[in-house]
Amino acid sequence: MKTVITYGTFDLFHVGHVKLLRRLRGLGDRLVIGLSTDEFNLGKGKKTVVPYEQREEILRAVRYVDDVFPEACWEQKAEDIRREQASIFAMGDDWAGKFDHLSEFVEVIYLPRTAGISTTDLKQVMQGLRDERVDSVRHALDHARMLLDELAKLG
């Protein structure tokens, strides 16, 4: 049995995640995921929208995924590879070269990302919508202040 191991945050789960998981599973018979904990993400300067427990539940519901375990630090990968008896370590190509040192334990593969979608893009869109909403409320408040000032002048 050939086990594939990967790691990630999988926040705001989207079609790019599904396509990556399908390709990863196609590399072997079993796919296991080290899911970055909320605390580990904070240490990396990332704040997740969806909490760990929910991200784990989503991943476990995906038919390509056989198991999920917490990723709490960078250094755990070699031990995880041994424990899971992984044959392949695979990541998106945005990590190309960063995990080559693991090739002494396992075959290391970097897969191309799905074009046109990323969690970062989704977060930017959400921030843009939030900014528009704040601007709209500010505009309404400014208009209300102006009306109150006019009413005060009349009274």
* Tens-place pLDDT, residues 119-131: 676 557 566 667 6
- Whole-model pTM? 0.76
Q: Give the tens place of pLDDT for each residue, 96-118.
A: 999 999 999 999 999 988 766 66
Report which residue type is found at 20.
L
Q: Which residue has the tokens 């296991």?
A: 32
Indicate if 44 belongs to the active site.
Answer: yes
Q: Out of 46, 77, 98, 153, pick the active-site residue.
A: 46
- Spatial distance between the Cα atoms of 146 and 22, rounded to a whole number of angstroms: 57
Output the CA–CA distances (angstroms, integers) from residue 43 to 46, 96, 101, 120, 142, in the order listed. 7, 21, 22, 17, 40
To the nearest whole percent, how much of the chain has pLDDT over 70?
Answer: 88
Residue 54 in tokens:
């929910």
H or E element that contains 130:
helix 119-154
Q: Out of 2, 19, 44, 153, pick the active-site residue.
A: 44
Indicate if 153 belongs to the active site.
Answer: no
